Amino acid sequence: MTPFNNEKYIRIQSEHIKERIAQFGNKLYLELGGKLFDDYHASRVLPGFQPDSKLTMLTQLRDTMEIVIVISAADIEKNKVRQDLGITYDVDVLRLREEFMNQGFLVNSVVITHYSGQASAQNYSQRLERLGIKTYFHYTIEGYPHNVALIDSADGFGKFGALDVVEDWADEARRYYIGIVGKYGAQVQSLLKKAAGLDIRTICSLHGPVLTENLGYYINLYDTWSSYRHESEGVVICYTSVYGNTKKAVLALAEKLKEKGCPKVVVTDLARDDMAEAVEDAFRYGKLVLATTTYNGDVFPFMKEFIHHLTERGYRNRTIGLMENGSFTLQIARVIAVFIPCIITGLCLLLMFCSRRMTYPWLISIFSLVLPLFFLPSLAALIGSVLIEPMFKPYMPVEEDAA
């Protein structure tokens, strides 16, 4: 039998953990069962495996990780003893914490699971607090794991106006999901796949009403939102306008879309309307039009903020149209694109003329002749914009000058 390759185990495990951390935004909850060190049982049954292989693997990540030690309230209650060391589990927690800290790991807290009011667990928690160790309780879930028809959730299935059961759930829940959960679509999809085979009858959210009816409707919406699919057909037009001309163009577009039979057209002034609702509509419908003005050589601030909200939440899988104006800015950009190469070409000719007095005149001359060739496209643009375009301008449609 081939012995266990301890070095390969440490290398592969470390690589996979780092990949998972990168996949979930540099945050990963990793649960490790068994012993992190002093695992003599594993080393006996698996030749080549070192008793501290897990801890050695984790030392490669210790600068970016925190260890949380977990102990069951039931084990505290019955003074369960670790047979290989002859000490109780609650004493072993303190031993483990000290060992981890000696290895350079951050250990700030202990979680007591299966807590249901046991006095021994409460006393142990107070003891840890006196030692400066934060303690958290994980309460038992009634009926779990035999009754999985009840799903407890924190942010999931929550909504703004959590206790308001009269208003439509979807509007506020959609806005809540996009604002709070939006960028974690991959994690939500993973959870929904695991829950797909369960007979769910009740959803209890910490930030929303208790859901007991038509659960398929809520779950399907979460599946749509977390997979970044649009919920309804329609076009959202988000704009900013300084002098009103961009607004006129947007309203004209909206009317055209309605005439063409677009099922839903939403027009939002980002400088005056609710930004959160604009973001919600952008995620709800399948098409988005952005119309804005040039401001201080950049995108108008409200539009820039809106785009930031979309990208921060992983906006994708949509058709996006752009409406720009700025006839002045575009003309300036064209002039800059043409005349800067002309200036560089002139400087190169001057350099070539002066090169006769330099150490390597032939090298300078070649450089001065070759460099202007890189700007031939810009010179072509000059010919097009200055000579050719005016010839066809009388036959081109006249556009309203938008400020």
> Is 296 a member of any domain?
yes
Pick the closest to residue 321 from 239, 225, 223 (CA basis). Answer: 239
CB 205 within 8 A of CB 211: yes
In terms of residue numbers, what domain contains 175?
150-226
pTM: 0.48
The number of domains in the chain is: 4
Q: What is the C-alpha separation between 126 and 53, in angstroms, rounded?
A: 33
Tell whether the torsion through CA atoms of 216, 217, 220 and 226 is positive or negative: negative
How does pLDDT run across 254-310, given as a tens digit for each residue?
Answer: 999 999 999 999 999 999 998 888 999 999 999 999 998 877 777 889 998 999 889
The band of 373, judged by pLDDT with boundaries at 50, 70 and 90, is low
Q: What is the C-alpha separation between 284 and 341, in angstroms, rounded?
A: 47
> Is 400 a member of any domain?
no
Q: Same domain for 12 and 104?
A: yes
Assign residue 31 the CATH number of its domain.
Answer: 3.10.630.10
Domain end among 271, 302, 325? 325
Q: Is the pLDDT of residue 225 over 80?
A: yes
Report the pLDDT averaged over residues 352-363. Answer: 55
HSE-CB of 230 using CA atoms within 13 angstroms: 18
Report cis status (omega within 30 of 0) of the bond before 397.
Answer: no
> Is 401 a member of any domain?
no
Which pLDDT does position 357 carry in this prediction? 54
Residue 97 vs residues 102, 107, 111, 130: alpha-carbon distances, Å: 9, 6, 13, 15
Report the pLDDT averaged over residues 173-181. Answer: 84
Domain end among 309, 325, 341? 325
> Is 384 a member of any domain?
yes
> Is 96 a member of any domain?
yes
Which pLDDT does position 256 carry in this prediction? 94
pLDDT > 70 fraction of the chain, expressed in percent and rounded: 73
Q: Is the pLDDT of residue 400 over 70?
A: no
Q: Same domain for 34 and 123?
A: yes
CB 387 within 8 A of CB 229: no
Q: What is the CA radius of gyration of the chain?
A: 33
> Is 216 a member of any domain?
yes
How does pLDDT run across 76-92, given as a tens digit for each residue?
Answer: 999 999 887 889 999 99
Which pLDDT does position 70 carry in this prediction? 92
Coil, helix or strand at residue 316: coil
HSE-CB of 308 using CA atoms within 13 angstroms: 9
